[in-house]
Amino acid sequence: MTLDSALEYHLFNDNKTYLGNVKNLSATGIMFTADQSLPLGIKLQIKLTPEKNITPPMEAEVRVTRCDKRTDGHYHVAGELNKVS
């Protein structure tokens, strides 16, 4: 499913919250933009909050499977969804 929605994420070894923008979401994976490169295999904790509070936020663990630099200096990050709640 194609999306354009804000995303919060943090690395498991870092309490700092980073912001991204979800571009694609499926039952098993996610693709979002990020300001920094993320190493393959690293695990993130994500929180996707819908614009309308009809549904609760989605939280999940994500394992990064791809990270490509875009021409605008941001990164496309793809990952495998795990432990979705």
Looking at residue 25, which CATH number applies to its domain?
A: 2.40.10.220
Could you list the residue range(s) of the whole structural domain that residue 11 is in? 2-82
What is the C-alpha to C-alpha distance for residues 15 and 10, in angstroms, rounded to an integer? 6
pLDDT tens track of the chain, all 85 residues? 667 788 999 998 888 999 999 999 999 999 999 999 999 999 999 999 877 778 888 999 999 999 999 999 999 999 999 989 8
At residue 72, the pLDDT reads 94
Q: How many structural domains does the chain have?
A: 1
At residue 52, the pLDDT reads 77
pTM of the entire structure?
A: 0.88
Distances from the Cα of 71 to the Cαs of 36, 38, 76, 84, in angstroms? 13, 17, 11, 31
DSSP 39: -
